[in-house]
Structure 1
Amino acid sequence: MRYFISAVILFFAMSRMSAQDIFLYAKTGNVEAMSTFKKDIDSKNTEGYTPLILAVYHNHYKAARWLLENGAKPDLQDQSGNTALMGASFKGYKEMVSLLISFKADMNAKNYNDATALIYATVFGRTEILKLLLENGADKNIKDSRGNTALQHALMQNNEEAVKLLQGKSVVK
């Protein structure tokens, strides 16, 4: 009986360990190690982060690509309602935004403040990402919980380039 109890405790400890390891591997971009945890691909840690969100936030393109190619859902949300695309947008990771778009991430998903990736790109001055999102059909008319669209955020920040993009005017660089 003692061995049975020890085996059960060891099993649960190892199960917990594996669920935690995928987050560490995603955060550090260790694709090889992460690949042994396919069953945990869409699990969430205590902050609500998925391995994909962590890989994206830490700009580990290969890890994010591996996760997406192996079935990670691109639109899962953390505890604030943010998706991987929102994270890539506010961090300014254009390649990551392109990757997520190619895997059909919802560009109009809203977090718990009704902000979208487009609003984040605008607020954080990521005009290249703003342009990319607009080119791929992001809805510029969505309002956040304070009633502001991406254009209104651009106007508040005096970001002329973003204002022109959101008004559909070409920007010369």
Structure 2
Amino acid sequence: MSDQRQPVTMDADEAAAFAAEVFDRARQGDAPMLARLLENGLPANLRNQKGDTLLMLASYHGHLEAARVLLQHGADPAISNDNNQQPLAGAAFKGNLEMVRLLVEQGAEPDAAAGDGRTALMMAAMFNRTAIVDYLLAQGADPKRRDARGIDALGAAQAMGAADTTQQLQALA
């Protein structure tokens, strides 16, 4: 008896249901299932109808092990979704320093900007994430970089009333 696998065929509805389940696994942080799927040929940079990658969903929802598995299988941390958001900015927004560290260690540019020009540093500053601001600055993020509206990290912090990061960024000037 041959040990060769036969290709699986499915209709459009089955394929859509399978894809929805895969994205739910990333959102829920099911690292073991994601690892099995990736080892069996699932593309690491698969995107949903909103342009979110599996890595975007895992990182945004704080699932370190799932994000680590995806990165080990070639997930690109620089892919923006349809709203011009990147995984690093999402992790900064959520205040997840460990995820920010993982993404930067695995190749995310600390100063990368999506289409609107916003960086993870700006997101961290806006939401008073002082530890993430410190980390991103130490990794080379430019506090003077401006988004498409001309606002830098300090301006973003001030606009949101983020007192701690406003003080932190003012001290750099």
State the match for 1:10 in structure 2: 10
Q: Are 1:106 and 2:122 matched, yes or no? A: no
State the match for 1:145 in structure 2: 148
**Could you tell me how far 1:78 is from its partner in structure 2?**
0.7
State the match for 1:115 in structure 2: 118
State the match for 1:68 in structure 2: 71
Alpha-carbon distance between aligned partners in 2 of 1:9 and 1:132, rounded to the nearest angstrom:
47
**Could you tell me how far 1:110 is from its partner in structure 2?**
1.5
TM-score (normalizing by structure 2): 0.84
Q: Is the 8 A contact 1:89 1:118 kept in 2?
A: yes
Of 115, 121, 127, the match for 1:124: 127
| 1:124–1:11 distance in 2 versus 1, CA, 3 Å | same
Alpha-carbon distance between aligned partners in 2 of 1:25 and 1:10, rounded to the nearest angstrom:
20
State the match for 2:3 in structure 1: none
Question: How do 1:21-32 residues align onto structure 2 when only pairs under 5 Å count?
Answer: 21-32=21-32
Question: How do 1:77-88 residues align onto structure 2 when only pairs under 5 Å count?
Answer: 77-88=80-91
**Could you tell me how far 1:168 is from its partner in structure 2?**
5.0
Counterpart AA for 1:31: A
| 1:158–1:28 distance in 2 versus 1, CA, 3 Å | closer
Q: Whose helix fraction is larger, Structure 1's or Structure 2's?
A: 1
Q: Secondary structure at the match of 2:10?
A: helix
Percent identity over the alignment?
34
Alpha-carbon distance between aligned partners in 1 of 2:56 and 2:156, rounded to the nearest angstrom:
25
- Unaligned runs of at least 5 residues, structure 1: 1-6
Question: How do 1:33-72 residues align onto structure 2 when only pairs under 5 Å count?
Answer: 33-38=33-38, 39-72=42-75
TM-score (normalizing by structure 1): 0.84
